[in-house]
Structure 1
Amino acid sequence: MCGAEAASIVTGVKAIIYTSVGASDVLELAERPTPAPGPGEVRVRVAISGVNATDWKCRQFGHVQGRLLYPMVIPHHDGSGVIDAVGEGVDRERLGRRVWLWDAAWRRPGGTAAEYVVVPQRQAVELPPDVSYETGAGIGLPAVAAHSCLLAMGGAPTRLGPGALAGRRVLVVGGTGTLGHAAIQLAAWSGAEVIATASHPEQAGRARAAGARQTVDYRADTAAVDVRAAAPDGVDLIVQVAPSAYAEVDQEVLAPAGTVAAYATEGRGRVTLPIAVLMGRNVRYQFVLGATLPAAAKDIAVADVAAAVATGALTVGADSGLPVLRFPLARTADAHDAVQAGSAGKVLVDVATL
């Protein structure tokens, strides 16, 4: 194989592709030439592909100004599988290693919704033998973005890990979503006191399973009072899924020098802020998009996430508060629709049995 050391030879791969923007019906199952890893790259036989909101948004609205960056796109950033070929400059010891993938489709036309994917070797991270492919495919982009949110607060440490956030109070709004779930787990692993939002008992149970000590209904008229009851001095950080809808409540529950880390756009939502009040309290807002984080920040996040995964602190599944909804590769369109509809859990696409 040109420029590569391979453990196996394959002649063609099944993949989900799209060539134009639009609804999920633009996705089609096709056979594509087998990708070969170039210098510094690895090829991974994909077991499971993870679906995120970014995936359906890029498909429906395009990459830049309504356009695709490539004539043909294989979607999905996240996944898990086994390295079966390596390019020049990559240690052959990596052949056969179980890995989880992140940013596979970032500035590349080929993502993980295929039997094989090629990525730079740093984007294929060792998956411990006792960690499931489901967890491997379910972390990726949400966990990297959650990591950045948690380090956004004033005086934050440079890394996450046991004790790193001891004494900090973190409120996670949308804690039963994929990023919110990762934020709860990473914050709890790092020693923070975590409060999460839940609008009904089932959500509250899921948030507590992830590691939240207390839950509140952020849509209730008593939301600010309830958060203050749990954190009388206010919270140091709010990991916020709806910065426009909850701006007033956020401002009521933030401690002095507190931070709102917002990771969702609410469509074309706008946040109106009382500048004088927030300036006097030294409040900050940090907007986070995982895909566009600087490379150095991504590398630190991936290292910390990998450490959390290795210790069992970061996982997916009903027991950890994030149920899994699975689809076969041929039904990737249904998987996209499920994420777009706000599915309660992590949406995964089964690609191959490994």
Structure 2
Amino acid sequence: MRAARYLTGGPDAGVLEIVDRDVPEPGPGEVRVRVSVSGVNPTDWKSRKGGGLTAAGLDEVIPNQDGAGVIEAVGAGVDERRVGERVWLWLAQWQRAHGTAAELVALPSEQAVALPDGSSLDLGAGLGIPAMTAHRCLFSGDGIGAGDAVLVHGGAGAVAHAAIELAVWRGARVASTVSSPEKAQLARAAGAELVVDYRNEDVVAAVREWAPDGVRRVVEVDLPANADVDAEVVGDHGVVSTYAVSPKPMQASRTMMIRNAAIEFVLVYTMPEAAKRQAVADVTEALRDGALTQLPVRRFALEEITAAHDAVEAGFVGKVLVDLPR
């Protein structure tokens, strides 16, 4: 099979190249999936460039955590009726050497989730990390419910887009911040009731007018930059869930303390196993309900995978996908 790979050490560490590899055999409890589309996330290029998420002891890595395809073989203990099933894949390369940037991947059966009828492989390939992260940001602890107000920062990003749609699916009201008219359009299309251009508008004033008692959840992409805003808009006992790390320092706000609000950090890889299972179940249910939609897509061939990683690193607005040879 054809696959992209990079070495983890030496002078060529992190350099992607296309290689031939043996077809992986599914072990007990595993399935082998013929990958149609591989999704690229920021952690894919960050891990390749030494971001600290690659398991120790691996000499080479086939990158990319997310993808979609069709099950073509199963290991011992897996129902053979799964062969031929269209699936979306999550955390395929976490603590493993073999991700989705290959024609075939073997992984635990529960990490290949049946795609509902009507859901495209492209949509499936973009779910894993973004949708599961968004789910955790919204539903950890007491979570959110119908009528709750939620603020999602950076509403055109993959995690934020999924957060808007999942919150609306649960009956919540959503406000979103954006930085351009193009991004505003994406946030509104996802279901945001209020969209605020933070470069030209007063976010605190707009959100407080929209939700006078404050928001129950803030889904945060840049905590140091937005800490003061979050403190002013979060409601009593609310939660600011942040899923991105910034090198900038942040000073704790007394306002957050007065409101008994919490700051919660979210990393999809180390979420509790029960939270992962619930996220997978809810994301799949939302797919069945038609609640999750596709962001604009930029496509690359497997041979262009370096350019695909570069596009994500450069901040492409939408989803970057890599097509595998058929």
TM-score by length of 1: 0.88
Q: Distance in 2 between matches of 1:73 and 1:92?
A: 29
Residues 1:53 and 2:42 aligned together: yes
Residue 272 (structure 1) shift: 1.4
Q: Give the 5 Å matches for 1:78-157.
A: 78-152=66-140, 155-156=142-143
- Decide whether the 8 Å contact of 1:147 with 1:183 is kept in 2: yes
Residue 280 (structure 1) shift: 2.2
Residue number in structure 1 paired with 2:285: 307
Q: Secondary structure at the match of 1:246?
A: helix
Q: Distance in 1 between matches of 2:81 and 2:214?
A: 50
Q: Secondary structure at the match of 2:224?
A: coil
Residue number in structure 2 paired with 1:347: 320
- Decide whether the 8 Å contact of 2:6 with 2:13 is kept in 1: no
Q: Distance in 1 between matches of 2:319 and 2:30?
A: 28
Q: Secondary structure at the match of 1:244?
A: helix
Aligned residue among 29, 32, 35 for 2:18: 29
Residue 125 (structure 1) shift: 0.3
CA deviations on 1:312-335 (whole Å, 9 max, x unpaired) are: 11121xxxxx20111001101001
Q: Secondary structure at the match of 1:309?
A: helix
Residues 1:338 and 2:299 aligned together: no
Give the aligned CA root-mean-square deviation in angstroms. 1.8
Contiguous gaps of at least 5 residues in structure 2: none
Aligned residue among 223, 244, 251 for 1:243: 223
Residues 1:224 and 2:204 aligned together: yes
Q: Secondary structure at the match of 1:261?
A: strand
Q: Secondary structure at the match of 2:235?
A: strand
Q: Distance in 1 between matches of 2:276 and 2:12?
A: 30
Q: Distance in 1 between matches of 2:207 and 2:200?
A: 11
Q: Distance in 1 between matches of 2:65 and 2:156?
A: 21
Residue number in structure 1 paired with 2:272: 294
Residue 129 (structure 1) shift: 2.9
Q: Could you say if the C-alpha distance between residues 259 and 219 of structure 1 is closer, same or farther in structure 2, counting changes exceeding 3 Å?
A: farther
Q: Secondary structure at the match of 1:119?
A: strand
Q: Distance in 2 between matches of 1:298 and 1:331?
A: 31
Q: Secondary structure at the match of 1:15?
A: strand
- Decide whether the 8 Å contact of 2:14 with 2:49 is kept in 1: no
Residue number in structure 1 paired with 2:251: 272
Q: Distance in 2 between matches of 1:340 and 1:331?
A: 15
Residue 155 (structure 1) shift: 3.3
TM-score by length of 2: 0.95
- Decide whether the 8 Å contact of 1:25 with 1:333 is kept in 2: no
Q: Distance in 1 between matches of 2:190 and 2:13?
A: 31
Q: Distance in 2 between matches of 1:269 and 1:261?
A: 17
CA deviations on 1:15-41 (whole Å, 9 max, x unpaired) are: 000013699970000001110000000
Q: Distance in 1 between matches of 2:211 and 2:302?
A: 45
Residue 128 (structure 1) shift: 1.9
Q: Could you say if the C-alpha distance between residues 216 and 118 of structure 1 is closer, same or farther in structure 2, counting changes exceeding 3 Å?
A: same
Residue 84 (structure 1) shift: 0.4
- Decide whether the 8 Å contact of 2:55 with 2:94 is kept in 1: no
Q: Give the 5 Å matches for 1:160-239.
A: 165-220=145-200, 222-239=202-219
